[in-house]
A and B are shown apart, each in its own frame.
Chain A
Amino acid sequence: MSADGRSTTSTTAHSTIDLTKIKPYGDTLNDGMMQFSFTLPVPYSDEAREAARLYLLKMGVDEPQISHYEDLGVGYTFFVCYGKGTHTVDFTKIEVPKVDVEVMDKYGVEDYIKENIKRPVVIVGACTGTDAHTVGIDAIMNMKGYDGHYGLERYEGIEAYNLGSQMPNEEFLAKAIELNADAVIVSQVVTQKDVHIPNLTNLIELIEAEGLRDKLVVVAGGPRISHELAKEIGYDAGFSTGTYAEHVATFVVTQMVQRGLV
Chain B
Amino acid sequence: MQKNKLNLDFGLVAEARQSAARIAADIQPFIDQHSSVTVERTVARLLGIDGIDELERPLPNIMIEAIKKEGGLPLGAAYWIGRAMLATGKTPQEIAEGVAAGEIELAKLPEKSVEDIQAAVNKVAVKTVERIRANRAHREDFIKNVGEGPKPYLYVIVATGNIYEDVLQAQAAARQGADVIAVIRTTAQSLLDYVPYGPTTEGFGGTYATQENFRIMRRALDEVGNEVGRYIRLCNYCSGLCMPEIAAMGALERLDVMLNDALYGILFRDINMQRTLVDQYFSRIINGFAGIIINTGEDNYLTTADAVEEAHTVLASQFINEQFALRAGLPEEQMGLGHAFEMNPNLKDGFLLELSQAQMARDIFPKAPLKYMPPTKFMNGNIFKGHVQDALFNMVSIMTNQGIQLLGMLTEAIHTPLLQDRALSIENARYIFNNMRSISDEIEFKEGGMIQSRAQAVLADAAAMLKDIEQEGIMSTIEKGKFAGVKRPMNGGKGLDGVVVKDALYFNPFIELMLGKEGE
Q: Which residues of A contact B (CB under 8 A)?
A: 37-39, 70, 72-74, 76, 78, 130-132, 134-135, 138, 142-144, 146-148, 164-166, 190, 192-193, 195, 223, 241
- Contact for B168 among A37, A74, A148, A192, CB less than 8 A: A74
- Inter-chain CA distance A236–B304, complex, in Å, is 27
**Residues of B139-193 contacting chain A, CB below 8 A:** 161, 168, 171-176, 187-188, 190-191
Choose the segment among B13-21, B350-358, B376-384 that binds chain A (4+ C-beta atoms closer than 8 Å).
B376-384
Pick 15 A–B contacts, CB within 8 A, sort by A. A39-B420, A72-B420, A74-B168, A130-B187, A130-B204, A132-B187, A132-B190, A134-B303, A135-B303, A138-B304, A144-B485, A147-B344, A147-B378, A166-B188, A190-B205
A223 touches B381 (CB 8 A): yes
Chain A min CB distance to B272 (Å): 14
Chain B nearest Cβ from A166, distance in angstroms: 6
| Contact between chains at A76 and B381 (CB < 8 Å) | no
Decide if the interface of chain B is mainly helix, strand, loop or mixed: loop
Q: Which residues of B contact A73 (CB under 8 A)?
A: 171-176, 423
Cβ of B107 under 8 Å from chain A = no
- CB-CB < 8 A to A78: which residues of B? 419-420, 423
Question: Which residues of B are found within 8 Å of A192, using beta-carbon distances?
Answer: 161, 204-205, 416
> Which residues of A are found within 8 Å of B423, using beta-carbon distances?
70, 72-73, 78
Residue of A whose beta carbon sits closest to that of B159: A192
B68 contacts A by Cβ under 8 Å: no
Q: How many residues of B contact A (CB 8 A)?
A: 37
In Å, the complex CA distance between A76 and B205 comes to: 23
Residues of A within 8 A of B381 (CB): 223, 241
Query: Does B306 touch A at the CB level, under 8 Å?
Result: yes
Q: Closest A-chain residue to B191, C-beta based? A: A166
Chain A min CB distance to B382 (Å): 10
A76, closest chain B residue (CB): B419
Tell me if B12 is interfacial: C-beta within 8 Å of chain A.
Answer: no
A18 to B304, CA, bound (A): 47
A130 touches B188 (CB 8 A): yes
Give which listed residue, A134, A147, A223, contacts B414 with CB less than 8 A.
A223
- A sample of 14 more A-B contacts (CB under 8 A), given A70-B423, A135-B376, A223-B381, is A39-B419, A73-B171, A73-B173, A73-B174, A73-B175, A76-B172, A78-B419, A132-B190, A132-B268, A135-B303, A144-B485, A146-B377, A147-B344, A166-B191
Which 3 A-B residue pairings sit nearest by Cβ, starting from the closest?
A73-B175, A130-B188, A74-B172
Q: Which of chain B's residues has its CB closest to A130's CB? A: B188
Q: Knowing A39-B418, A135-B303, A241-B381 touch, does A74 contact B175 (C-beta < 8 A)?
A: yes
Alpha-carbon gap, A213 to B341, bound state (A): 42
Cα(A70)–Cα(B413), bound, Å: 25
Asked if B131 is at the interface (CB within 8 A of a chain A CB), the reply is no
Neighbouring B residues of A74 by C-beta, 8 Å? 168, 171-172, 175, 419
Query: Given that A130-B188, A190-B205 are contacting pairs, would A144 and B305 also be in contact in the complex, using a CB cutoff of 8 Å?
Result: yes
User: B57 at the A/B interface (Cβ < 8 Å)?
Assistant: no
Name A79's closest neighbour in chain B (CB-CB): B420
Q: How far is it, in angstroms, between the C-alpha of A147 and the C-alpha of B377 when the chains are bound?
A: 10
- Cα A134 to Cα B380 with chains together (Å): 15
Is A72 a contact partner of B419 (Cβ separation < 8 A)? yes
Distance (whole angstroms) from the CB of A145 to the closest CB of chain B: 10
Complex CA–CA separation, A147 to B269 (angstroms):
25
B270 at the interface (CB under 8 A from A): yes
Q: Which residues of A contact B380 (CB under 8 A)?
A: 241
Instruction: Please give, as numbers and ranges, the residues of chain B lying within 8 Å of A135 by CB-CB distance.
Output: 303, 376-377
- In the assembled complex, the Cα of A34 lies from the Cα of B413 at a distance in Å of 23
Interface residues of B in 3-49 (CB under 8 A from A): none
* Alpha-carbon distance between A138 and B176 when the two chains are bound, in angstroms: 36
Q: Is the CB of A190 within 8 A of B187?
A: yes
- Chain B stretch 76-95: residues in CB contact (< 8 A) with chain A: none
A70, A72, A138: the one within 8 Å of B172 (CB): A72
Chain B neighbourhood of A134, CB < 8 A = 268, 303-304
Contact digits for B181-219, partner A, Cβ 8 Å, 1 yes 0 no: 000000110110000000000001100000000000000
Q: Which residues of B contact A190 (CB under 8 A)?
A: 187, 204-205
Task: Kindly state the separation between the CA atoms of A132 and B268 in the bound complex, as whole angstroms.
Answer: 8
Contact A166 B419 (CB under 8 A): no
Q: How many Å lie between the Cα of A72 and that of B485 in the bound state?
A: 42
Contact of B188 among A132, A138, A146, A148 (CB under 8 A): A132
Contact A142 B304 (CB under 8 A): yes
